[in-house]
Amino acid sequence: MPTSNSKKPDPIDIHVGSRIRLARQALHMSQEKLGEALGITFQQVQKYEKGANRVGSSRLMNISAALTRPVEYFFEGLNADGSPQPVDDLTSFLHSKEGIRLARAFARVKDREARLGMLRAFEVAAGYASGIIDENQLTHELAPSTLQPENMPVLGATH
């Protein structure tokens, strides 16, 4: 663990900050809007998200409420000793800005055939000779009712 004079952010603070950013982005909330909800500047939100400033427990409770996430959410992905849990490539992508944008955009496509076409195009671009998803699963998984934004799971949310 870094000493008190260390300028390098603690890995736990970086992790908590990245989870704050992920939850904020998932809600389409700006740093300014979160700052307003917390009574702080957007610059302070930036510092929290980068792990440059440590988030105190009362502030984390306020952030938790503003972002509608349980406090535990911000520590998901860490072991009890503070070390990161291994993350697979898919989870990492789904938590990225591009992953969130792609999931939102894909969910808004109403036409099933268009969704299938995009899915197949992505599979080809990724180097898959044939589809990676069982065609029988597509009937349910790509049905319009299951892909509405309100039916999509919130990444990292606990149920």
pLDDT by residue, tens only, the chain of 159 residues: 544 556 788 999 999 999 999 999 889 999 999 999 999 999 999 999 999 999 999 999 999 999 999 999 999 989 888 888 887 888 888 878 888 889 889 999 999 999 999 988 888 888 876 655 555 554 555 555 544 445 444 444 443
Which domain range does residue 116 map to? 89-151
- Whether residues 66 and 96 share a domain: the answer is no
- Whether residues 95 and 54 share a domain: the answer is no
Quote the number of domains for the chain.
2
CATH of the domain at 34: 1.10.260.40
Does the predicted model carry a pTM greater than 0.75?
Answer: no
Burial readout 122-144 (b: 16 or more C-beta within 10 A, e: otherwise): eeeeeeeeeeeeeeeeeeeebee
- Whether residues 45 and 94 share a domain: the answer is no
- Whether residues 61 and 22 share a domain: the answer is yes
Domain end call among 46, 75, 104: 75
- Whether residues 58 and 96 share a domain: the answer is no
Task: Please choose, from the candidates 65, 93, 82, the residue with its C-alpha nearest in 3D space to the C-alpha of residue 155.
Answer: 93
